[in-house]
Amino acid sequence: MSSLANTGTKKGFSINDFNTRKKEHVPISMVTCYDFVFAKIVEETDIDIILVGDSLGNVIAGYENTIPVTVEQMIYHTEIVHRGAPSKFLVIDMPFMSYHVSVEDSLRNAGTMIKKSGAHAVKLEGGVEFYDVVKALVRASIPVMGHLGLTPQSVHKLGGYTVQGREEDKRRKLIDDAKSLVDAGACSLVLEKVPESLAKEISEAITIPTIGIGAGVHCDGQVLVLHDMLGLDAGFSPKFLKKYANLHEITKNALNDYSREVRDKQYPGKEHSYA
């Protein structure tokens, strides 16, 4: 068996815990991760789930949105994260247009992503429209996490990154979407940037856990983008985001200290030099 073999997590979170956590009201913690150094740190923590999100398009690649992200890029980053955090339950995002063409194409893409990356589940954006896709993936033993509300791959359709589900018809549609994902066999559901009351209604109406980002306290779990919650991007401060550290400031100060010490010939010192 290769070191990338997906044996499930020996300790920590496993697929069965989605149900257990919902029943026992123990919130699920999820964070994104895209590289080896951070994966090794997350591996040492109590975080339940790592999501290799297609937000890597923004965070790592500097694209304007997640639309250009490819299946190959997702596999590359997820395989790296799996090496750094082998015990964590790992979810890989299906990128834009990798599950939109046909059920057969979606199966092939998801199958390749699971086989090559070491992930335990895929995540995809959308509801009722993707019922057949989700059902086929689940039938092929590929666990699926849904994603509703603000779905960044639909940014051109939505016209921006605003809160979703404020109007009554959109609210109803999101509830129907959530129920459809449950019927299709999804194991859990990300709710992004929806009113707290809607997230509460959905969370109470369905049997699988909701994992919120900008969706309030009533979700069955929470997810944040790692780089955002560590405060690496000084210019990104949406209302829902809590910055648990200020790594932008810390990193900038460290770099300036280093630069100054090089200029002043303080670094390297005797203790950093070989005899």
Instruction: Tell me the sheet residues that pair with 240.
Output: none
Q: How far is the CB of 52 from ligand KIV (least distance, A)?
A: 8
How far the first Cα of the chain sits from its last, in Å, is 46
Cα separation, 61 vs 58, in Å, equals 6
Name the residue nearer to ligand KIV (CB basis): 191 or 273.
191
Name the residue nearer to ligand KIV (CB basis): 181 or 274.
181
Name the residue nearer to ligand KIV (CB basis): 123 or 249.
123
Whether the Cβ atoms of residue 74 and residue 113 lie closer than 8 Å to each other:
yes
167 is catalytic: no
DSSP 8-state code for residue 209: P
Catalytic residue among 72, 129, 167, 192: 192
Q: How far is the CB of 55 from ligand KIV (least distance, A)?
A: 3
Whether the Cβ atoms of residue 127 and residue 120 lie closer than 8 Å to each other:
no
Name the residue nearer to ligand KIV (CB basis): 110 or 223.
223
Whether the Cβ atoms of residue 30 and residue 75 lie closer than 8 Å to each other:
no
Whether the Cβ atoms of residue 31 and residue 223 lie closer than 8 Å to each other:
yes
- Give the binding site for ligand KIV (CB under 6 A): 32, 51, 53-55, 93, 147, 190, 192, 213, 223, 225
- Supply the residues annotated as catalytic: 192
